[in-house]
Amino acid sequence: MTTKKKATTSTKKASKHRSPVRPSNERVDDEKLKQALQESNGNISHAARTMGISRNAIHQHVNANPELKQILDDSRQTMLDEAENALLAAVREKQGWAVCFTLKTIGQERGYIERADQSHSGSVEVVIRREDRRK
């Protein structure tokens, strides 16, 4: 018995939240980009959608402008601070996942680890022997 597979074509639905994407060589207002990066907590995809430009255009502008690079870093650091505060709140509420995560990451220095990392200093001799299997 043979089954025929019907060829399908997928079409992307246009999102009502997305603006048309301008070419990356088009001038982007740095002030608007700063605001978009801050409002998106450094999420470049979100900032690009907000501004109607490509992620690549944002990367190009950020890499060319040290002030934008600093804004992006600051925005991401702020988001990480908020995440750490949320984690701390979950630990204080004695939520098991949060306690376990914290001990596995920050608590490693106190011996809370799943595996032991070992390092070696000095030399190691490696001997490779080849057996003759033609017998």
Question: pLDDT band for position 53 (50/70/90)?
Answer: very high
Average pLDDT, the chain: 82
Burial 61-85 (b: 16+ CB within 10 A, else e): bbeeeeebeebbeebeeeeeeeeee
Query: Is 4 part of a structural domain of the chain?
Result: no
Query: Is 15 part of a structural domain of the chain?
Result: no
Put simply, whether the predicted model's pTM sits higher than 0.75 gets the answer no
Query: Is 2 part of a structural domain of the chain?
Result: no
Q: Which domain holds residue 46?
A: 30-110
Cα–Cα distance for residue pair 115/71, rounded to 1 Å: 37
Q: Which residue has the higher pLDDT, 27 or 31?
A: 31
Q: Which of 57, 90, 87, 62 is nearest to 75 (CA)?
A: 62
Determine what percent of the chain is predicted with pLDDT higher than 90: 57
Q: Which residue has the higher pLDDT, 115 or 89?
A: 89
Helix (H) or strand (E) holding 105: helix 96-105
Query: Is 75 part of a structural domain of the chain?
Result: yes
- pLDDT above 80 (res 15): no
Q: What pLDDT does 134 receive?
A: 74
Query: Is 12 part of a structural domain of the chain?
Result: no
Q: What pLDDT does 69 receive?
A: 96
Domains contained in the chain, number: 1
Place of tokens 């870093």: 73
Query: Is 37 part of a structural domain of the chain?
Result: yes
- DSSP letters, 12-69, are PPPPTTPPPPBPTTS---HHHHHHHHHHTTT-HHHHHHHHTB-HHHHHHHHHH-HHHH
